[in-house]
Chain A
């Protein structure tokens, strides 16, 4: 972001600047107007400057865009007419030693005998105040003003507070010092600091220290107008959480050649305002002499990437408008020299964007894609859509929740460490402790959602979610591989499946059998050999009311009744008065097998119902196999009802089972059926102790 007063822009321009035209141009060029604020007779304009255009973080940069818009052949340079001779050989009262590859330029200008008690001129104070920068004293204010004006950060040392040479170096060990904003900061090993022989005096390109601070009493100064490497400033700023106007610019990049203009401007303004005598022999360290970057751009590549039909001269003209030095070589190729202020231009694509920008993206005609790329179906996407269709048909509402759950959610869900659903993927920088764990199950969020809705007055809830769950799988060479994630489906149901009225004399509530029916209905779509067997190994469910879902002997998911203990662990969990039933399974590997319809017989089936007394722990999936296996004439065995209570001994239940008999080629005789019945009744009694209810 860069904010500037419109009047300041106008005051430094040699051409008329129209407010509306400026905003329109900036918008078209991709500099979004973030805010506009009226301040007296001035307007503060804030533009969004992306990371690639640090040259736009100054009034001079914005003015350059104004000049481009007006096709003015040369950009405006804000500089001052001051006699300064820069040389690394020049010695100041304090020697300047550069001992780091992170310093690209370092200008030191010495001024003696200034009067810093003078009032900062109104035009400077006014500019700074509009931008929310407090006025400190004349020299400091001038330094800030120059930064806004041309984008060159600077620092000024009080010479009388310096002890020995000024050294710029990457520190060997973490160094702590008090910064100008009043807090003590530890700069990490390798940070670029400026010290004198005794103490740190500045974190280069970031923030100064009171140890060499400019005050109203300051008489003698050394101005620093330098250029530091963006990487060191960026990494130090991130590690120390120190961000200043200077570091913001350096970490994005500052034109190396700008430091000379900055030095001259500062010298001129300081001596004009505070007086003093300038040592014309300024120090200057240069790591590498600036040489404009030269790039080759072809017409073919430009047109091919933009989808345009531009001629080389048109392309050259557009680039020249942006102050590139362009030489058309042979009608298809051009050599382009990049001006120093365009740090973002590194390759031909960057130039092509410039061409597109000036040509206008709106002038590029859309063209349909002519490409043959075969469509490949994504099985996870297909399964997710199938599951959504099924659930919508079943009357469930889809919810979406965050991927993270509370730190103590495993305790809340009563999930033991060995469980398939135990969470162990922690976030190092969570927003809060309730967002600390990556979910190993969708249950926490679904239960929470159900409770929230019960609290809002809902009573019958049917919800589902499709989302990822996370687990650690330690021991891999690449630490990234130590995590696994699965695409899971989960559904929660509680309350009445049928409410009183329209024939029902009372509400009929969901039971765990409905949750099992739901699993069978959903997975029935895939025609897999699903097995659902009781298991209490997973946590979160009521003991004895939980089961594992497997297919081909592989764990697929769980189904059961959430335990009242777990519900009680949730705030407002007591609102869940009816059974809360939950299903969760992994859907990413589900593959449907082909189904076909059979026309087996025209002879009528014979249906018989049996009321079995079944001991707890004996499963229908097991004993029904005995009935099915008793004769090939047993076509189907279906549970019709299960009953506990009066007339049934404790520890047992009465299960009403419907058996369909059909011989397919003839009608079965009663004695044949009775023979089959005798056969399975004996086996049921022998193997499972199952008897017919008297």
Chain B
């Protein structure tokens, strides 16, 4: 009988190891009950000494397997074991998230950083007049700096498409009194043929901070801090004298090349630096024009927003930003 029990034990073990559904388990259980019944009947025919030993073995067998059945029933009910293993390396085409345009993505990064720094956002019209776009920015009709900002004109005299978002700052100053901190992101226009590096529309994020004691050192801080928050702490920012009719002193702002980290590469023409923005202390003539005193202090800056996303997302040509090849944006 001892051998018989060992054999049953072995066979049951094998059967249980292959079972994967509750139905299969039920069949094994019912057959086991039958076997047990038979074993008890057989046991009765044994001599008393053997009977005791066999009874003990049979009980052990019964307890062992009943526990196993119970555990397996629970396991199968919880679904831990399925009949087929699904290939979950496969995904259906459901749930594809949309993508934000790379230029807007970088623009939003900037907006967020400036908002965190306490700047409000100001918008203005894209159709502007000569007064807001040039005259009030210290660029009278004969100013040679207008050459750099040649724009498109509409039918009515002196109505044009803004060549920078600085006119938003003029409008803001005409309507508000200092202190304030604003950025004015938006589209601007220039008469540039479309090529690898030029498009007739592009984006700018300009900023204006006006208040008591605002100085060039504050400007350096604001530009450095925002660039580092956007592009990382290891970034370097440098300032050099420059000229804009609407700021004095003026500064050109260079950033260490985000492609090579400042070591020098093709993108930065081996210099390790990239010109990314212009800035300066607002010219007293501009303040006077909007009705502030000439002694007012404030700084303004302007980031060109076409080049940064190109570098950030490694977009080959500027015009690609407006060609909207979906397969490219899908990679974002």
Give, as a whole number of angstroms, the nearest-CB distance from A353 to chain B: 3
**Given A30-B242, A252-B144, does the pair A378, B120 have CB atoms closer than 8 Å?**
yes
**Contact across chains for A27 and B240 when beta carbons are under 8 A apart:** yes
- A428 and B155 form a contact (CB under 8 A): yes
Q: With A and B bound together, what is the CA distance between A1 and B115 in angstroms?
A: 38
Note all chain B residues with C-beta closer than 8 A to A479.
129, 156-159
A431 near B: Cβ within 8 Å?
yes
- Do the beta carbons of A402 and B92 come within 8 Å of each other? no
Q: Are A388 and B100 in contact (CB under 8 A)?
A: yes
A contact residues around B251 at 8 Å (CB): 361
Query: Which of B30-38, B44-52, B60-68, B179-187 interfaces with chain A?
Result: B179-187
Render A449-471 as a binary contact track against B, CB cut-off 8 A, 1 for contact: 10011001010011110011010
Complex: A456 Cα to B327 Cα, angstroms: 9
* Measured CA separation A328–B145 after assembly (Å): 34
- Interface SS of B by simple majority: mixed
Contacts of B161 in A (CB 8 A): 403, 427, 438
Q: Mark B154-179, 1 if CB is under 8 A from A, else 0.
A: 11111101000000000000000001
Q: Which of B79-110 contact A (CB under 8 A)?
A: 92-101, 103-104, 108
The distance from the CB of B283 to the nearest CB of chain A, in whole angstroms, is: 7
Which of B99, B159, B189 meets A397, CB within 8 Å?
Answer: B99
Given known pairs A349-B284, A429-B152, the reply for A461 and B121 (CB within 8 Å) is: no
Q: Does A70 contact B (CB under 8 A)?
A: no
From residue 344 to 373 of chain A, which have CB atoms closer than 8 A to chain B? 347, 349-350, 352-353, 356-357, 361-362, 364-373
CA distance A381 to B252 in the complex (A): 28
- Chain B binder among A175-183, A299-307, A608-616: A299-307
Do B249 and A305 have beta carbons less than 8 Å apart?
A: yes
Binds A, one of B2-10, B21-29, B220-228: B220-228
Query: Number of A residues whose C-beta is below 8 Å from B?
Result: 93
Among residues of A, the one whose C-beta sits closest to the C-beta of B108 is A385
Question: Contact partner of A361 among B129, B199, B209, B240, CB < 8 A?
Answer: B240
Chain B, 192-235, contact with A by CB distance < 8 Å: what is the 0/1 string? 01100001110000000101111111101110110000000000
Cβ of B250 within 8 Å of any chain A Cβ, yes or no, is yes
Q: In the complex the two chains form, what is the Cα distance from A461 to B98 in whole Å?
A: 11
Complex Cα–Cα for A388 and B213 (A): 39
Bound Cα distance from A201 to B104, whole angstroms: 56
In chain A, positions 308-352 with a C-beta closer than 8 Å to chain B are: 308, 347, 349-350, 352
Q: Are A30 and B243 in contact (CB under 8 A)?
A: yes
Please determine whether B217 and A352 come into contact, CB atoms closer than 8 angstroms. Answer: no
Within 8 A of B (CB), among A248-304: 251-252, 301, 304
Q: How far is the CA of A27 from the CA of B215 in the complex (A)?
A: 23
Contact yes or no, B240 A483, CB < 8 A: no
Q: Which residues of A contact B218 (CB under 8 A)?
A: 307, 366-369
24 intermolecular pairs with C-beta atoms under 8 Å apart:
A51-B145, A251-B144, A307-B215, A347-B284, A353-B241, A368-B221, A369-B117, A373-B120, A373-B181, A373-B211, A388-B100, A398-B99, A400-B324, A429-B153, A458-B327, A468-B126, A479-B129, A479-B158, A483-B125, A483-B156, A483-B159, A485-B125, A485-B126, A499-B93
Residues in chain A within 8 A of chain B (CB atoms)? 27-30, 32, 50-53, 230-231, 234-235, 251-252, 301, 304-308, 347, 349-350, 352-353, 356-357, 361-362, 364-378, 380-381, 385, 388, 391-404, 425-431, 435, 438, 449, 452-453, 456, 458, 461-464, 467-468, 470, 478-480, 482-483, 485, 499, 501-502
In addition to A364-B239, A367-B217, A427-B154, 8 A-B residue pairs with Cβ atoms within 8 Å of each other are A306-B215, A347-B284, A364-B220, A398-B98, A400-B103, A453-B327, A468-B187, A482-B156
A-binding residues in B (CB < 8 A): 92-101, 103-104, 108, 111, 115, 117-123, 125-129, 141-145, 152-159, 161, 179-181, 187, 189, 191, 193-194, 199-201, 209, 211-218, 220-222, 224-225, 238-243, 245, 248-252, 281, 283-284, 295, 297, 321-327, 329-330
